[in-house]
Amino acid sequence: MKVTIHKLFDYLLETTSAEPPECFIGFSLARSPRLKDFLTDLDPELSLDWNGKSFLGLPALRQRVLDQAGLDLPLDSVLITAGAAEANYLLFRQLVQAGDEIITESPGWPQAGVMAKAIGAKLVEVARDEARGWGLDPEAVARAITPRTRMIFLTNPNNPTGRLVPEADLRALADLAERHGIWLVVDEVYAGLEWVGARSPSIAGMTRFGITTGSVSKALGLQGLRTGWMICQSPDVIRDTMILRENGSEIMNVLGEHIAEVALRPERLAAALGRAREDGRATLDLLDRFVSDEARLSWHRPEAGLIGLARVEGVDGESLARALLKPPYRTFLLPGSAYGLPHHIRIGAGGGPEARLNEGLERLSAALRDLA
Ligand SMILES: Cc1ncc(COP(=O)(O)O)c(C=O)c1O
């Protein structure tokens, strides 16, 4: 079946094709570097031809990907893709068949639902518990497994709540995957900006059924490079997804790979994450104070990443988001309805000064007052 649009993308398409907003309270990316920041480390003689390169992606980049994830795995356990989104897409298409079941979290990244529908698979959602800070119970995941379960798909840190899966729970999930022979795909695209504790271990190192997806898009703000990856110990998974990729984008974007390789060099990575953490912590503090001062908002501050989910009292999240987009506010945020949660809004601290977060928050306060 063809892939059909999800509410989240529909809302984005609709609202970004109208008059552009002036302020954003929704950005999930750290401030984006400029091309000039990389020029000193790029070779001007670099050939933009592709011949002679590996179909898995630049070996030096694959090594950086393993290093930043803290994984001691062979280079051929990495496939470079056009972002984490393409890595997920290839996995859904090659690992799941019509009639299979995919277990995912709710709220979570909508790609699992979109792809399950297109493939003719059943989506089984396990609710994250708002009362427990949006925690995911591995026992609830275990109860959702049936003989038809083919894949568990999770985000860690979670989009949209910023909640982390504790290491012990990741181990429990890895054990489940082993015991039942189920692929455990963990989208780690928001890893690197942890506010509570250390970065979670990558699932690809915890079980041969674990598949990590990620990219340079979020913590490094390099979304426009379209450079991401999957990591998996199974050569068959890497081969099967590479075969599908050959029939889509064929190979990787050579320039994107080179810039990503530079961005992931240890000294550059540490400096970029240091800056993103400093900015992110300050803007999250601001969001936190804002939410506690607004009587009609409440949230669980994200444990990682730059986005979180706030509950709104007295008005539904989508009416608020739509009113906020219009004059005089002209401010963008995502309504919780994009995640099936009508009483929430997704707020984000990313984007740097261009997001004009302070002004956006003042406008959100005004809209909450005006809509009272
Ligand atoms: C959980 C999750 N996965 C994947 C993506 C896409 O990321 P990329 O730019 O790496 O394709 C996003 C983007 O918002 C996301 O939130």
Give the pLDDT mean for 197-215: 97
| Alpha-carbon gap, residue 243 to 55, rounded angstroms | 10
| Alpha-carbon gap, residue 74 to 72, rounded angstroms | 7
256 Cβ below 6 A of ligand 1: no
Single pTM value for the model:
0.97
Residue 314 CA to ligand 1 centre (angstroms): 31
| Alpha-carbon gap, residue 86 to 82, rounded angstroms | 5
Angle (CA) 297 302 306, round 5°: 100
237 Cβ below 6 A of ligand 1: no
Residue 360 CA to ligand 1 centre (angstroms): 24
Instruction: Classify strands 331-332 and 23-24 as parallel, antiparallel or unpaired.
Output: parallel
* pLDDT interval class at 351 (50, 70, 90): confident
Summarised one tens digit per residue, pLDDT across range 233-256 is 999 999 999 999 999 999 999 999
Nearest to 57 by CA among 84, 85, 39, 77: 77
Distances (CA, A) of 59 to 8, 103, 366: 35, 33, 52
Task: State yes or no: pLDDT of 340 exceeds 80.
Answer: yes
Instruction: Classify strands 344-348 and 334-335 as parallel, antiparallel or unpaired.
Output: antiparallel
Who contacts 45 (Cβ-Cβ below 8 Å, separation ≥6)? none
Residue 242 CA to ligand 1 centre (angstroms): 19
How confident is the prediction for the chain on average, in pLDDT? 96
Confidence at residue 366, expressed as pLDDT on a 0 to 100 scale: 96
* pLDDT interval class at 195 (50, 70, 90): very high
104 Cβ below 6 A of ligand 1: no
Nearest to 132 by CA among 174, 173, 169: 169
Who contacts 48 (Cβ-Cβ below 8 Å, separation ≥6)? 254, 255
Q: What is the largest CA-CA distance in the chain?
A: 63
Residue 158 CA to ligand 1 centre (angstroms): 11
Atom of ligand 1 nearest to the CA of 86: 11
213 Cβ below 6 A of ligand 1: no
Give the pLDDT mean for 277-296: 95
Share of the chain above pLDDT 70, in %: 100
| Alpha-carbon gap, residue 263 to 348, rounded angstroms | 23
Bridge partners of residue 211, in order along the sequence: 185, 232
Confidence at residue 352, expressed as pLDDT on a 0 to 100 scale: 85
* pLDDT interval class at 363 (50, 70, 90): very high
Tokens at residue 24, please? 């954003």
Task: State yes or no: pLDDT of 257 exceeds 90.
Answer: yes
Bridge partners of residue 311, in order along the sequence: 298, 344
* pLDDT interval class at 177 (50, 70, 90): very high
Share of the chain above pLDDT 90, in %: 92
Bridge partners of residue 230, in order along the sequence: 79, 213
Angle between the 111-119 and 83-95 helix axes, to the nearest 10 degrees?
Answer: 30
Distances (CA, A) of 252 to 60, 85, 154, 279, 361: 14, 14, 25, 31, 39
| Alpha-carbon gap, residue 168 to 180, rounded angstroms | 19
Residue 84 CA to ligand 1 centre (angstroms): 6
Summarised one tens digit per residue, pLDDT across range 41-87 is 999 999 999 888 899 999 999 999 999 999 999 999 999 999 999 99
Question: What is the 8-class DSSP label of residue 217?
Answer: S
CB-based burial, 135-154: b 16+ in 10 Å, e otherwise: bbebeebbeebeeebbbbbb
Residue 155 CA to ligand 1 centre (angstroms): 10
Domains of the chain, CATH where assigned: 7-33+268-370 (3.90.1150.10), 45-265 (3.40.640.10)
What CA dihedral angle connects 348, 215, 211 and 194, to 10 degrees? -40
Considering only CA atoms, which residue is closest to atom 14 of ligand 1? 28
Cβ-contact 266, 67 below 8 angstroms:
yes
